[in-house]
Amino acid sequence: QVQLVESGGGLVQAGGSLRLSCAASGRTFSLDAMGWFRQAPGKEREFAAAISWSYGSTYYADSVKGRFTISRDNAEATVTLHMNSLKPEDAAVYYCAAAVRRRTVIPGNPGDYNYWGQGTQVTVSS
């Protein structure tokens, strides 16, 4: 079992920055990847960014590429999402996700993640 706790959401003006953090606990030695997904009201959950746990390879949705940066701290079992140049369309509940003991992980496929955090709200005012 892996538990995920997100923090760092809030209200920011368009063009501003926020940092989201996700702390994993439990069987973190079995992590394959961690990612961030987001869901705006009335929309489906969508991929934002992901990072492979062993190699640190990063993956981004086109909509956030160049503005968001994902990083990990293996020792602390945390993943951080730095969000810059935020736009109103970035507003959503952001969910941290972990893929544990998966043979393969497609970074943008939510079905490949077997643990999820409770979500943290990001609001961007125009």
Question: Which residue from 27, 70, 44, 53 is spatially nearest to 105, judged by alpha carbons?
Answer: 53
Give which of 46, 31, 126 is closest to 79, Cα–Cα.
Answer: 31
**CA-wise closest residue to 52 among 119, 105, 111, 114:** 105
Question: How does pLDDT run along the chain (126 residues), one tens digit per residue?
Answer: 999 999 999 999 999 999 999 999 998 888 999 999 999 999 999 999 999 999 999 999 999 999 999 999 999 999 999 999 999 999 999 999 999 999 889 999 999 999 999 999 999 999
3-class state of residue 46 by DSSP: strand
